Chains A and B, each alone.
Chain A
Amino acid sequence: MKYLSRFFLTLVFLAACAFFPITPQLNAAQRVQLEWRVISASHQRGNVDPRLRDIYRDLGSVFNYSSYRLINMNRVYLSLNQEVSVPLAPNQTFIIRVMGISRQWVRARIQLIRSGRSIFGTSVQLMNGRTLLIGGPTDHGKTLIFSLRSFW
């Protein structure tokens, strides 16, 4: 009985230690790293920007463009309710706002502003490392693709 109670006490203590928030996801729960890229895609003969190598498989399997060029890219740390403005084209801007952060998900509001007017807005939940692609806006005849990924 004495040994059994000692066993359970040890078990409870070690289990408490094990579930203590030591994982990086939990430590970084107040802040999330977002990576965005603005990609220009066209049917003209060209090559793929080497900086898009990691997402080219995704792009190639979804779109039938023959050339992809990275226009802009950045990684930012955002806290809850913080937002970042990403210029897409001279009169088009994406605004990303972090609405919630959980252990595995980040909730973000993405808005596309054209000439001061919101033409598209969405609220999404992104799991760590997954890519959201928003395409369609054009600039000088080239299609723009906006890619968003979150990291912890």
Chain B
Amino acid sequence: MRRCRKIQKDMERYLDKELLPEKIHGFEDHLRTCVRCRRVLDEKREQRRLRVESLIPDEIPITTDEIIFAIQGESVPEGAVPSSMEDTTPWWKKLKTLTFRPVPAIAFAVCLIALGLSLFLPFGSHTHRKPGIVIEEIESTHSFVIYRPQHTGTTVIWIVPAKRGSKEAT
């Protein structure tokens, strides 16, 4: 899989005949064995062919690059791709040519769901079923009342004031 990605990265260079000679052998070896890469290369070739056909009308005998090379006093190198033919496809269109890989896609989806759940569910907490407030202990010299209204998440502790002259409750 990784090899395919590397090969597909080198395809433009291969088609431009700019791929390093030491890499060509391995590249072509891989193409011989990998149907998918061969198909991608064929697609790229076809895309180029179509682009060239649409960009160079029949009545214009020479390309812009030929003019530039002529001005510079050089001949067009064999296999040189005119600058107008450079890959200008927007990245979102290139996405369509990417192959769908189900394994990482499913793994990614599962993890996205896990992430979502971890943000909203109290995993790892053993106290999430308890009410919002837990009174562990109370020490008071006065009487007190604890009230927990069912409809609110509030807990009320009411300290009953001691009456004047009476002994404080414990």
Chain A residues in the interface with B (C-beta under 8 A)? 3, 6-7, 10-11, 14-15, 17-19, 23, 55, 57-58, 61-62, 102-105, 107, 112, 118-127, 129-138
B157 touches A62 (CB 8 A): no
| Other A-B pairs beyond A18-B118, A112-B159, A130-B132, 13, CB < 8 Å | A3-B103, A10-B103, A57-B152, A61-B149, A62-B147, A62-B154, A102-B127, A119-B142, A121-B138, A123-B137, A124-B136, A127-B131, A132-B155
Q: How distant is B130 from chain A, measured CB to nearest CB, in Å? A: 8
Chain B residues in the interface with A (C-beta under 8 A)? 103-104, 106-108, 110-111, 114-115, 118-119, 122-125, 127-128, 130-142, 144, 147, 149, 151-161, 168
When the two chains form the complex, which single residue of B104, B134, B154 contacts A133, counting CB atoms closer than 8 Å?
B154
Given contacts A10-B107, A62-B152, contact A132 B157 (CB under 8 A): yes
Closest to A131 in B: B154
A102 touches B125 (CB 8 A): yes
Task: Kindly state the separation between the CA atoms of A135 and B4 in the bound complex, as whole angstroms.
Answer: 72
Given contacts A57-B152, A125-B136, contact A135 B111 (CB under 8 A): no
Q: How distant is A76 from chain B, measured CB to nearest CB, in Å? A: 19
A58 touches B104 (CB 8 A): no
Task: Kindly state the separation between the CA atoms of A102 and B124 in the bound complex, as whole angstroms.
Answer: 11
Q: How distant is A68 from chain B, measured CB to nearest CB, in Å? A: 14
Neighbouring B residues of A120 by C-beta, 8 Å: 138-142, 144, 159
Given contacts A61-B152, A120-B141, contact A136 B158 (CB under 8 A): yes
Q: How distant is B165 from chain A, measured CB to nearest CB, in Å? A: 16
Neighbouring B residues of A19 by C-beta, 8 Å: 114, 118, 123
Neighbouring A residues of B124 by C-beta, 8 Å: 103
Q: How distant is B76 from chain A, measured CB to nearest CB, in Å? A: 46
Neighbouring B residues of A107 by C-beta, 8 Å: 136
Task: Kindly state the separation between the CA atoms of A137 and B162 in the bound complex, as whole angstroms.
Answer: 10
